């Protein structure tokens, strides 16, 4: 009995691994390349916006640059503090930080395993979330500061090896160490879901156009999301079993936005009142985006 169950689980695990392993490897290769060779350029472009009078259009640019930034939130906040000291406005910073929380180049490659449609929706919904956050700060905090970056210095740069090849290899090694365990856990959980959770249950919970399914996906994203790469196998399996694309989009928004490490960092720079406002915004945006996506697709 146990041997048969192990064979079933190994089959599901190996199939899932074969389907998604290449995306994980490619994501690390490209993500580390962006981190080593393009990160400073991306941040310098953003910093240079402080001297330009481009108004509301700066929010759009900031959101796009945030998605290209390879930093995690604990890395983004110190660099955002330096941006603020360089004269970058709070609404531009909000757009940059919001989209940076939700997406990065490595996660974009991972998400390609979910199909072109889901990838496009993830990129667009994250981009628009950053813009929406920036616009809200622009409207409601035009004459007062939203962030408190007191005490934050420039983030430590680990890519300092003089040999550029070794610099890249070391970054890739850190990347593998950071994402590898979550990637394997995600595939194991996916195999368990495939074996023991009826497909009809997933359709009932997350399928169709019902608001309940989208709200459930948004809520599940809060405790379940630990690493972007670790959730891709689960999302792939859930989509196969009937999860609507709107529910998947909702999960992909609330997950990274409420990841415990991101929340800890954000609470420091927002304070409790604005931190709670951030949580309400995320849940409202994820729910609205999911409803619209299900209506359109």
Which of 280, 283, 125 lies closest to 217 in space, CA to CA?
A: 283
Which of 46-50, 100-104, 119-123 bottoms out in mean pLDDT, i.e. has the lowest?
46-50
Cα–Cα distance between 188 and 192 in angstroms, integer? 6
CA 293 to chain centre: 18
CA 218 to chain centre: 14
Q: How many CB atoms lie within 10 A of CB 104?
A: 26
User: Residues 271-276: what's their mean pLDDT?
Assistant: 90
Q: What is the pLDDT of residue 281?
A: 96
Give residues with Cβ within 8 angstroms of 140, minimum separation 6.
Answer: none
Q: What is the pLDDT of residue 227?
A: 62
Q: What is the pLDDT of residue 58?
A: 93
Q: What is the pLDDT of residue 38?
A: 86
158 touches 174 (CB < 8 A): yes
Q: What is the pLDDT of residue 96?
A: 93
Q: Is the pLDDT of residue 74 over 60?
A: no
Q: Is the pLDDT of residue 203 over 70?
A: no
Q: How many CB atoms lie within 10 A of CB 30?
A: 15
87 touches 116 (CB < 8 A): no
pLDDT band for 278, please (50, 70, 90 cuts). Answer: very high
Q: Which residue has the tokens 């999860």?
A: 243
Which of 20-34, 139-153, 262-276 bottoms out in mean pLDDT, i.e. has the lowest?
139-153
Give residues with Cβ within 8 angstroms of 236, minimum separation 6.
Answer: 16, 19, 20, 113, 114, 190
The most confident of the ranges 28-37, 103-112, 172-181 is 103-112
The DSSP string of 2-47 is HHHHHHHHHHHHHHHHHHHHHHHHHHHHHHHHIIIIIHHHHHHHHH
Q: Is the pLDDT of residue 80 over 70?
A: yes
Q: What is the pLDDT of residue 117?
A: 95
């Amino acid at each position: 009995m146990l041997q048969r169950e192990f064979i079933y689980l190994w089959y599901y695990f190996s199939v899932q691994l074969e389907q998604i392993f290449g995306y994980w490897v490619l994501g690390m290769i490209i993500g580390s390349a962006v981190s080593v060779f393009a990160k400073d350029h991306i941040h310098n472009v953003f910093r240079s916006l402080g001297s330009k009078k481009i108004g509301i259009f700066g929010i759009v640019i900031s959101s796009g640059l945030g998605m290209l930034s390879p930093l995690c939130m604990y890395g983004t906040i110190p660099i955002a503090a330096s941006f603020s000291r360089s004269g970058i406005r709070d609404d531009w910073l909000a757009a940059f930080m919001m989209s940076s929380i939700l997406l990065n180049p490595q996660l974009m490659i991972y998400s390609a395993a979910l199909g072109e449609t889901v990838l496009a929706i993830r990129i667009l919904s994250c981009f628009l979330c950053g813009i929406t956050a920036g616009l809200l700060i622009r409207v409601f905090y035009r004459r007062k500061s939203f962030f408190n970056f007191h005490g934050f210095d420039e983030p430590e740069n680990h890519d300092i090896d003089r040999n550029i090849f070794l610099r890249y290899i070391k970054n890739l090694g850190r990347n593998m160490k950071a994402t590898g365990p979550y990637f394997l856990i995600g595939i194991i959980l996916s195999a368990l879901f495939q074996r023991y959770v009826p497909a009809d249950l997933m359709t009932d919970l997350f399928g169709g156009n019902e608001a309940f399914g989208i709200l459930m996906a948004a809520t599940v994203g809060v405790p379940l999301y630990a690493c972007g790469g670790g959730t891709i196998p689960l999302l792939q399996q859930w989509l196969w079993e009937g999860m609507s694309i709107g529910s998947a989009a909702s999960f992909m928004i609330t997950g990274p936005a409420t990841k415990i490490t991101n929340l800890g960092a954000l609470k420091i720079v927002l304070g409790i009142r604005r931190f709670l406002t951030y949580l309400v915004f995320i849940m409202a945006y994820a729910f609205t985006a999911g409803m619209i996506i299900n209506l359109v697709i």
